[in-house]
């Protein structure tokens, strides 16, 4: 029976040494500082309006059009890629800007109205 008080004293001594560690266990360490500055976020340049003339391959009529393309295509003239038939007698002409790879469809109705699909 003499060992019970000794055991209680040893247990109390162990618990008292662990108490400060347990009290700090819930605290957060200060946040580590980043090693590098965050890189600046660069926004792409806004689209620009480019105007050029398209030629109807059937009637040879020329029509001025304006399309919005990425800024790197500013001042460039697109290349004619091809023409296909559309709904209700429409002609769909495809033009491609080689510098940025953007394709634009120009629709010419049978009445000569021009519709830009960009």
* 52-85 per-position pLDDT tens digit: 999 998 889 999 999 999 888 888 889 999 999 9
Question: Is the pLDDT assigned to residue 23 strictly greater than 80?
Answer: no
Residue 70 lies in a domain: yes
Q: How many helices and strands in the chain, by DSSP H and E?
A: 1, 6
In this prediction, residues 42-50 reach a mean pLDDT of 86
Q: Would you say the pTM of this structure is higher than 0.75?
A: no
- Let me know if residue 28 belongs to a domain: no
Residue 104 lies in a domain: yes
Q: How many domains does the chain have?
A: 1
Does residue 92 fall inside a structural domain?
yes
Domain-embedded: residue 79: yes
In a domain, 32, yes or no: no
Q: Which domain holds residue 110?
A: 48-117
In a domain, 87, yes or no: yes
Domain presence at residue 10: no
């Amino acid at each position: 029976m003499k060992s019970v008080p000794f055991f209680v004293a040893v247990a109390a001594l162990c618990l008292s040494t662990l108490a400060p560690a347990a009290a700090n266990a819930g605290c957060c360490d200060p946040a580590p500082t980043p090693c590098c500055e965050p890189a600046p976020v660069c926004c792409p340049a806004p689209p620009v309006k480019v105007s050029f003339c398209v030629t109807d391959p059937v009637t040879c009529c020329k029509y001025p059009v304006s399309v919005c393309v990425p800024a790197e295509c500013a001042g460039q003239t697109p290349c004619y890629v091809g023409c296909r038939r559309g709904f209700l007698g429409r002609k769909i002409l495809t033009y491609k800007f080689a510098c940025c790879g953007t394709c634009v469809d120009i629709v010419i109705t049978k009445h000569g109205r021009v519709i830009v699909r960009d």
